[in-house]
């Protein structure tokens, strides 16, 4: 008789390959032992963990291949304790893969091994373990429980896991600080969730890795990602209030612009020089004051804009993976600066327009013939120019 296997895994493969009419029946597999093999010898050598019912009369052998680490599909592999700790030796027949022997490794198996590895890393870094969960707790209200619950269909590539694990989980350099960063980053990724399955965390793996790397990069410069983001957001709020104040400081004076125009329109008197001159001087002084106020507010916005640009440059000096995530937080503030500048330019134009209209009203009241004459001259010149242009166009 040929040499029989001596390992449960090899036995499971041997039975699947050698038995006749082998098939799965409910929770076990069964088949008939070929006649050239000694039934008693095989039955005695068969490992207890694989054995089911053995019938020497029909030569039928029931067995459980999964007990020896042999599975038909990856769905069967990803179950129970194997979600947390892969078997040292296993075979997935549907993928023609035997762990440690088949190369290259199928992507599905790589995803499974990386997921189990990620769970082990989280377990080691957790504040404590509860049954099949790793618990991370920062405060009484800030905590999350990660459960080792996922299925084969949840598996996905975890890029760079080996280097990530070596740098942030296994390295002894800044070990405790890295553990705090891992906890904080995980709490940020799972914000608002007290319990999360590993299947829910896998799609957020890249975000989790980026947060850990960014926070550690800042830690090495005596910062933290949360601190930098908080400082930027706080200063942005202060700058927004300062920008809004540039208009609120002169809003009462702005309300006087229509009043100045109404004064010029209703107060002037035909050919009464003293009254018209007084009104014009009063409007001019008011307009000059308004011009200075608007100019002062424009200078204030320019100063705020310079401070914002200075803060942007300081953020850009941080590591790229940090600066790229913080810089977008300045977008709304910079848009606000542009908007306020445009508003003040329009107000400045309105101030000059009021002065021009008031001057026109005063001049027209004092010298009505002069204004009418100038308007007529301008109109005649415009008509002549337009006529010459049309003649030139017609001739060409």
pLDDT at residue number 48:
93
* CA angle 307–308–313, rounded 5-degree value: 95
What φ, ψ does residue 89 adopt, rounded to 5°? Answer: -135, 130
pLDDT score at 374 = 55
Banded pLDDT at 57 (limits 50, 70, 90): very high
- Mean pLDDT calculated for residue range 223-243: 79
What mean pLDDT comes out for the span 223-248?
A: 78
Predicted pLDDT at 244: 80
Higher model confidence: residue 385 or residue 336?
336
Pairing between strand 20-25 and 143-147?
Answer: unpaired
User: Tell me: the pLDDT tens digits for 155-170?
Assistant: 999 999 999 999 999 8
d(CA 31, CA 19): 5
Q: What is the pLDDT of residue 28?
A: 92
Calculate mean pLDDT across residues 292-296: 82
pLDDT, residue 75, reads 94
Higher pLDDT, 311 or 15: 15
Mean of pLDDT values over 90-104: 93
Distance separating alpha carbons of residues 155 and 367, to the nearest angstrom: 88
Average pLDDT over residues 225-240: 80
Q: For the chain, give the percent of residues with pLDDT over 90.
A: 38
Residue 63's pLDDT band (boundaries 50, 70, 90)?
A: very high
Which pLDDT does position 118 carry in this prediction?
Answer: 95
SS3 content of the chain, % helix, strand, coil (to 5): 65, 10, 25
Average pLDDT over all residues of the chain: 83
Among 28-37, 170-179, 277-286, the minimum mean pLDDT is found in: 277-286
């Amino acid at each position: 008789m040929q040499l029989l296997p001596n390992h449960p895994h090899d036995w499971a493969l041997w039975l699947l390959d050698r038995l006749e009419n082998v098939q799965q029946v409910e929770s076990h597999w069964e088949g008939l032992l070929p006649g050239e093999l000694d039934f008693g010898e095989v039955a005695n050598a068969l490992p207890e963990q694989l054995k089911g019912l053995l019938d020497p009369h029909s030569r039928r052998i029931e067995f459980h291949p999964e007990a020896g680490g042999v599975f038909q599909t990856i769905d069967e592999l990803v179950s129970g304790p194997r979600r947390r700790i892969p078997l040292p030796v296993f075979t997935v027949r549907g993928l023609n893969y035997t762990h440690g022997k088949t190369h290259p490794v199928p992507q599905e198996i790589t995803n499974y091994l990386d997921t189990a590895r990620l769970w082990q890393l989280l377990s080691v870094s957790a504040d404590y373990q509860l049954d099949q969960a790793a618990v991370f707790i920062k405060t009484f209200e800030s905590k999350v429980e990660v459960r080792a619950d996922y299925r084969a269909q949840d598996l996905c590539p975890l890029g760079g896991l080996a280097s990530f694990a070596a740098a942030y989980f296994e390295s002894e350099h800044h070990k405790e600080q890295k553990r705090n960063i891992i906890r904080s980053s995980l709490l940020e990724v799972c914000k608002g969730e007290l319990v999360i399955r590993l299947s829910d965390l896998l799609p957020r793996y890249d975000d989790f890795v980026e947060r850990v790397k960014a926070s550690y990069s800042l830690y090495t410069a005596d910062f933290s990602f949360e601190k930098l983001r908080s400082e930027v957001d706080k200063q942005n709020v202060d700058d927004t209030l300062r920008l809004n104040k540039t208009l609120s400081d002169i809003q009462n004076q702005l309300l006087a612009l229509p009043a100045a125009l109404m004064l010029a329109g209703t107060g002037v008197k035909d050919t009464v020089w003293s009254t018209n001159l007084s009104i014009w001087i009063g409007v001019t002084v008011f307009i000059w004051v308004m011009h200075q106020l608007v100019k002062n507010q424009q200078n204030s916005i320019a100063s705020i804009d310079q401070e914002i640009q200075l803060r942007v440059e300081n953020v850009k000096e941080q590591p790229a993976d940090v600066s790229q995530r913080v810089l977008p937080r300045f977008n709304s503030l910079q848009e606000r600066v542009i908007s306020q500048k445009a508003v003040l330019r329009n107000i400045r134009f309105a101030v000059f327009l009021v002065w021009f209209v008031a001057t026109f009203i005063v001049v027209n009241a004092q010298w009505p013939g002069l204004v009418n004459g100038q308007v007529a001259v301008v109109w005649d010149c415009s008509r002549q120019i337009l006529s010459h242009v049309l003649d030139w166009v017609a001739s060409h």
